[in-house]
């Protein structure tokens, strides 16, 4: 089976204002198989979002290779949809227009784009909210619109950067279940970045752990042996969940402390 995303020895470096370079990620290798849900977990500032931007083609690696379905990536990754951490909806478009825009710019007739946008809004539970502007929606509702906006284009790969980070705990759970629901329908390859280990285990097939930066590396890779379909709230009571959580946390804890110490020092 072809890997949807394959990063080979990727190094990421940023030029600093004083002329030096900051090495954010070092020698990162990671593959996401077709239809696989992979979560990247790491302490704050470890460069996990950077790795996601590399896979999206928004950022070019300093060295190393990026392959999308066995083809080298140059420029933007046209097979991927990206759900951002910050609000990325167009504030001047209604929810329906925000969802439809991906189809409209691809040259699909406005009437059809609108009809399909309406279907997608219903799928994310916002069927009657189509004429609202983003500022009239709650944080969770905006994320739902964002999901519909990305998924309507039917990308083969879904990249998610702490998408539920700003939401409260209950809303996160609901959004997590919604995401699993939508994902199970056609099993896209997912790369999901989060700092929340519980969320990572509950959602994904594999959990990848990154060390604290600078020069963050991938230091662990666990398969999640939990059956699907899952319910995010209930699976957290499962014994297998606890065992895995304890095992990964052993590794992650040291990095979190290191990362925290560095952000304090900075």
Residues that bind another protein (CB under 8 A): 56, 58, 76, 78, 80-82, 84, 86-94, 101-102, 105-106, 133-135, 149-150, 153
CA 60 to chain centre: 18
Which DSSP state fits 211? -
CB of 60 to another protein, least distance (A): 14
CB of 89 to another protein, least distance (A): 8
Q: Of 28 and 101, which CB lies nearer to another protein in the complex structure?
A: 101
CB of 58 to another protein, least distance (A): 6
Q: Of 94 and 194, which CB lies nearer to another protein in the complex structure?
A: 94
CB of 92 to another protein, least distance (A): 4
Q: Of 76 and 240, which CB lies nearer to another protein in the complex structure?
A: 76
Q: Of 84 and 260, which CB lies nearer to another protein in the complex structure?
A: 84
Distance, CA of 98 to CA of 7 (rounded, Å) = 31
Q: Which of 194, 149, 187 is nearest to 167 (CA)?
A: 194
Pairing of strands 157-161, 218-223: unpaired
Q: Show the tokens assigned to 129.
A: 């909210």
Handedness of CA 133, 135, 140, 145 (dihedral sign): positive
Which DSSP state fits 156? S
């Amino acid at each position: 089976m072809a890997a949807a995303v394959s990063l080979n020895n990727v190094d990421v470096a940023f030029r600093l204002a004083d002329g030096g370079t900051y090495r954010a990620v070092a020698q990162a290798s990671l593959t996401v198989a077709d239809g696989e849900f992979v979560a990247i977990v790491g302490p704050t500032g470890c460069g996990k979002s950077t790795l996601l931007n590399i896979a999206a083609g928004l950022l070019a690696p300093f060295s190393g290779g990026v392959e999308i379905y066995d083809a080298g990536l140059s420029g933007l990754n046209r097979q991927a949809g990206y759900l951002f951490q910050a609000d990325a909806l167009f504030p001047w478009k209604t929810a329906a227009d925000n969802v439809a825009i991906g189809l409209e710019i691809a040259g699909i007739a406005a009437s059809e784009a609108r009809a399909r946008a309406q279907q997608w809004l219903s799928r994310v539970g916002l069927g009657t909210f189509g004429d609202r502007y983003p500022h009239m929606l709650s944080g969770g509702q905006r994320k739902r619109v964002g999901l519909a906006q990305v998924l309507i284009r039917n990308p083969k790969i879904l990249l998610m950067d702490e998408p539920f980070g700003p939401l409260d705990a209950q809303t996160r759970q609901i959004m997590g279940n919604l995401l699993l629901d939508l994902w199970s329908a056609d099993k896209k390859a997912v790369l999901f970045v989060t700092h929340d280990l519980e969320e990572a285990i509950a959602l994904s097939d594999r959990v990848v752990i990154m060390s604290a930066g600078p020069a963050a590396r991938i230091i662990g890779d666990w398969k999640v042996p939990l059956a699907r379909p899952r319910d995010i709230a209930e699976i957290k009571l499962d014994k297998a969940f606890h065992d895995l959580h304890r095992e990964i946390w052993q590794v992650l804890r040291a990095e979190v402390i290191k990362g925290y110490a560095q952000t304090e020092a900075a």
